[in-house]
Structure 1
Amino acid sequence: MENGEKKNYESYVVVHNIAKRHNVGTLARSATAFGVSELILVGRRDFNAFGSHGSTSHLRFRHFHSLTLACSFLKERDCDICGVEITDNAVAVNEHPFRKSTAFLLGNEGTGLSAKECEICDFFVYIPQFGCGTASLNVTVAASIVLHHFGVWAGFSERSREGNKFLVAEKPINQMRRNYCTETAASVIEERKLKRESAAIGFFDESGKDEAAPNLLDTLFD
């Protein structure tokens, strides 16, 4: 920011191709801690809320069926879309290459950002590493680091503390209506159709206890 100018910036997190649904609950916790305005779910909207520690009550979710629709929404709000990925032209996140409100698109845990995802990004950041024992970070850890750097750059106000904890706000009144976007009946029907088709090809096959985990957003959007 130049000349001490104070602007109101916003940050968003776009969840598109994250394979492990339980990561989204932990991601929601970090998003709340670092002042994210909305967590945008693209395609799938179901996730395991484990790890969120109640933070989903303080975070707004928005859902789109495609990256194109999500991109249009963000551009209408004059947002840059930043891919968190090690690319040839990626800038170290600690250099704070931000210009305005920014939406962060995080890659799949195993394969990173796809070519389609990279196409909608205005720029990329990576997180410098100093040790030699791992090739990449967990997606929720990476998100926390990047969102913290953006909050520092944007001048977000630090939350008040009490003892060794930060103060948590009261849960919003009528949070089910206010904090979660609604959809038309037609879009819900279309989503369920896509989900059935995805299930038929094994898209939702996951091992372990995740399979029986609570599907938070199915309840919220019904």
Structure 2
Amino acid sequence: MTTHGVGPWAGEWPDDPHYDPDLLRHGDTRNVIDRYRYWRMEAIVADLDQHRHPFHVAIENWQHDMNIGSIVRSANAFAADTVHIIGRRRWNKRGAMVTDRYQHLQHHDDVAAFVAWAREAGLPIIAVDNVPGSVLIETFDLPRACVLLFGQEGPGLSEEALAAADAVVEIAQFGSTRSINASAAAAVAMHAWIRAHVPFPKS
């Protein structure tokens, strides 16, 4: 008996290429929404590609930041186009909860390479960091097509990354702490983009 997910398919198997025979036979305990139960991984990625949003997420990875996995998971939840890792190629995937298999990832050796890619793609870089001169994300008009750029826990974004940004925004805070967790900040910023650009029906 499984503690999460679904067991083996009951009844006649569906005649649909989306489905994975092994999952139909043994059950599906993956961290996926019900719509994708029993689907092949490639089929899920192909379906997600039909409705990914036009914002990208980029993360500087100079110190092997433990938050990257959680940021990838949030990017998947909000259907970001691609997550860009700047710096070290390796990162701790535990926090991603396997969502990295369904999320497009791209590596850039350094900030210069990332900026060159963004310029060629025509995407403005929106840095998220609470540094002098930043503006509140709550009052900022986030572009529909853009890259949200995040730094590491503690040091934040590098001077090179901040200098390359088209805008620098910060999240409004009201308590005593100087900053919030990097992965939490990334989730807040992504949701700010969702609030700005995804229409929701009125209840």
Where structure 1 has 5 or more consecutive residues not aligned to the other structure, the ranges are: 1-7, 159-222
2:73 counterpart of 1:33? no
Alpha-carbon distance, 1:157 to partner = 7.2
| Equivalent-residue separation in structure 2 for 1:49 and 1:100 (angstroms) | 28
Aligned length: 150
TM-score, normalised on structure 2? 0.67
Letter matched to residue 130 of structure 1: F
Secondary structure of the residue that 2:89 maps to in structure 1?
Answer: coil
Q: Contact (CA 8 Å) 1:91, 1:97: kept in 2 or not?
A: no
Output aligned runs, 1:91-130, within 5 Å.
91-130=135-174
Output aligned runs, 1:70-81, within 5 Å.
70-81=114-125
Alpha-carbon distance, 1:148 to partner = 0.5
4+ residue stretches of structure 1 with deviation over 4 A? none
Change (3 A) 1:72 1:22: same
Q: Name the counterpart of 1:148.
A: 191
Q: Name the counterpart of 2:100.
A: 56
Q: Name the counterpart of 1:19.
A: 63
Structure showing greater relative contact order (alpha-carbon pairs closer than 8 Å, 6 or more residues apart):
1
TM-score, normalised on structure 1? 0.62
Where structure 2 has 5 or more consecutive residues not aligned to the other structure, the ranges are: 1-51
| Equivalent-residue separation in structure 2 for 1:46 and 1:125 (angstroms) | 27
Q: Contact (CA 8 Å) 1:19, 1:109: kept in 2 or not?
A: no
| Equivalent-residue separation in structure 1 for 2:141 and 2:193 (angstroms) | 9
| Equivalent-residue separation in structure 2 for 1:97 and 1:53 (angstroms) | 31
| Equivalent-residue separation in structure 1 for 2:85 and 2:61 (angstroms) | 9
Q: Name the counterpart of 2:5.
A: none
2:144 counterpart of 1:86? no
Cα RMSD after superposing both structures? 2.1
Please identify the structure whose Cα radius of gyration is greater.
2
